[in-house]
Amino acid sequence: MTEAIAGSASPLAASCGHEANSCGPCPYSTGRSIGGYDIVSSGDEFRKILTEIFTDDFIRSNTNFESFEGFKYSSAVIVDWNRDTLIYDRYLLDHFVRESTRFAAWEEMVKAAADERYAVNNAEK
């Protein structure tokens, strides 16, 4: 999937397999993991990227939700999406994703959304 945006100016960093040094925080990157919990820096730029890639069309087509806001609301017991640092149990989030989307894991969902978003943008240029 990531090959679809190779060479593009996507705002995803090399840690997700996309273009190296292209920008700031990557929602695909887990940052670091301690005892099964992922720790991710999540400032305004990070939240903007998530909102940009998780369009309502993507969410409606690939999940049981109408919007990313609905997805976040339903997963709030697993992830406090409003924190500057997200700390979540990867197993629980992946299980939630498996049960409520067509994806097997959070990272797969993020990659698919980014690929779809930036492949479309590049095709228009």
Across the chain, what does the average pLDDT equal? 79
User: Any idea where the domains of the chain sit in the sequence?
Assistant: 29-112
CA 77/CA 13 separation, integer angstroms:
28
Tens-place pLDDT, residues 50-91 = 999 999 999 999 999 999 999 999 999 999 999 999 999 999
Longest dimension (CA), the chain: 43
Q: Choose from 7-11, 20-24, 28-32, 85-89 the range with maximum mean pLDDT.
A: 85-89
